[in-house]
Structure 1
Amino acid sequence: MLRSAYKKIIAAFALFTVELILVWALFIASIVIFLYLSSEIRAGDEVGMDEAAFQFAQDISSPGFTRFIEFITFFASRQFLTPAALLLLCYFLFVRKHKWYSLRVPVVALGSSTLNVVMKFFFDRDRPAAPLVEASGLSFPSGHSMVAASFYGLIIYIVWKHVQSPVLRYILTALLVVFILLIGFSRIYLRVHYATDVTAGFAAGFLWVVIGLWVLRRLEKLSKKELNQAVLEEPTENS
């Protein structure tokens, strides 16, 4: 029995280490990618991946696929994400009654949207010509891609923390990752964003959700530590 418990501890530690390395690798890669793309955009340089992505989208286009893409892109729109975030917020406030998870939702969702607007004005890049659907505002980084990476990244975090079955956890995570990538591709297909906008949006969204979750996690631990200390220091009736 002791040997079995030891093996489980080793396996859990190994899995934790792999997950930590993967998160750190993606975090660093996101920083590098965003800094590189932002420097290229600020310099006014053309990036070859933009035209290549547009050409690929044109090659696979069809009326039926366009309708599917318009359906996919809706799930990162303000019309969908605002009520979805509110429902998730209410769930953690009134059903699960987990105040720290209820804080994570507005920090990730509202924070990423606000940061995206600030960055758009800073980089001041015009949208591609001849879009397939109406789109307003500036282009870099893609707001749909950034919000999708942060909001659905938060969902991945929740799934990873609370889904007990490893198989189901991996399946849901994989489906969410594919969904995020499809949302990003939808912006290229509809010609409302360049591929560089989408890639930078993914990078910025991932950075935001990781930083936001880390900060809130630290605050949660600090809050619990101070609460426990206050309970320990509270005088008893016999003292």
Structure 2
Amino acid sequence: MIRKLSGKVRRFWASLALLSVEMVLLAAVFLVSLTVFGYMVRRVFVLQNNDFDQQVFDYLGGWVTPGLNRFMQAVTFLGTHRFLIPANLSLIAWFLFVRPHKWYSIKVPAIALSSLLLMSLLKNLFGRSRPLDPLLEPARGLSFPSGHALMSMTFYGLLIYITYHSVKNPRLRWPIIAFLGLLILTISFSRIYLRVHYTSDVLAGLALGALWVVLALKLIRRIEKQGKRTLGPIVGHGPAPTMGTGPVPNAPSEPM
């Protein structure tokens, strides 16, 4: 009995320590993202300093090749609405019918739609024009912040969140998270390479996307906790679906 109680106490303190680390990391992401976005807004619209944007374009001009052009076009497609709309719908269907977890099926459209609305509002608020000399094809719409960077950060960032809490095998979990993080950065970089966004647009989009996904998950998590008792039978909240092999008894719980 004493040994079992001692084991439970150790597991409790281990889980509490892990949760504290997660909260510190989330707070750091929030503060860094807010700082980067504020700095970009000040630099571009208050100081009207675009020297860095042009310097990046000039540097990348020496790396342009037909093969790299095709690669960047393929990568940038993964951040377009033509890909993200069916990807979001597929993810919703997955959590409704394949591995039921209806709170995840709520989080996916909530974050996608709110991110789209936020992007549209800010683009029209700042009204920055696109670069005048795109590498291949011109892009429509306004430039700041980058929609590709913002929407990629929120969608693939949500996948990182789901992977962290759902994939129990660490040998599978961390490579997936690393791949998704690299994909976010590559999609964002492709917009600069193709000269359809300034570097400041992309950095602002990444920062705003990270900021928004943290806030949205925090808000949805709070609604989830408050509605468990009254909406539980309707929403069908249950444990997060497990992916990967082998149960992990001390798997991290959702901090948000």
What TM-score, normalized to structure 1? 0.88
- Which residue does 1:151 correspond to in 2? 155
| Contact 1:128/1:192, CA 8 A, preserved across alignment | yes
Q: Which moved more, 1:183-192 or 1:38-47?
A: 38-47
Displacement of 1:219 in angstroms is: 0.8
Name the CA distance, whole Å, in 2 between partners of 1:16 and 1:65. 42
2:203 aligned partner: 199
**Shift of the alpha carbon at 1:52?**
2.8
Residues 24-43 of structure 1 aligned to structure 2 (within 5 Å): 24-43=27-46
Q: Quote the Cα distance in structure 2 between the aligned partners of 1:188 and 1:159.
A: 28
For residues 51-130 of structure 1, what are the structure 2 equivalents within 5 Å? Answer: 51-130=54-133
Q: Alpha-carbon deviation of 1:14?
A: 3.2
Deviation at 1:141, TM superposition (A): 0.1
**How big is the shift at 1:122?**
0.3
Which string of whole-angstrom CA distances, capped at 9 and with x for unpartnered residues, describes residues 61-85 of structure 1?
A: 2111111111100000011011111
Please give the residue correspondences for 1:212-231 in structure 2 after superposition, counting only pairs within 5 Å.
212-226=216-230
Runs of 5+ in structure 1 lacking a partner? Answer: 229-239
Residue 192 of structure 2 corresponds to 188
Q: Deviations over 1:123-171 (max 9, x none)?
A: 0101111102220111000000000000001100100110001232121
Let me know the Cα RMSD of the aligned residues: 1.8
Is it true that 1:172 corresponds to 2:176 in the alignment?
yes
What's 1:235 paired with? none
Q: Note if contact 1:126-1:139 (Cα within 8 Å) is conserved in structure 2.
A: yes
CA distance in 2, matches of 1:183, 1:213: 23
Larger mean Cα displacement after TM superposition, 161-170 or 138-147: 161-170
**2:21 corresponds to which residue?**
18
The equivalent residue for 2:242 is none
d(CA) in 2 for partners of 1:31, 1:37: 10
What's the offset of the Cα at 1:97? 2.9
Shift of residue 5, structure 1, vs aligned partner: 5.8
TM-score by length of 2: 0.83
Q: Secondary structure at the match of 1:122?
A: helix
Distance in 2 (alpha carbons) for counterparts of 1:105 and 1:56: 38
- Which residue is 1:237 aligned to? none
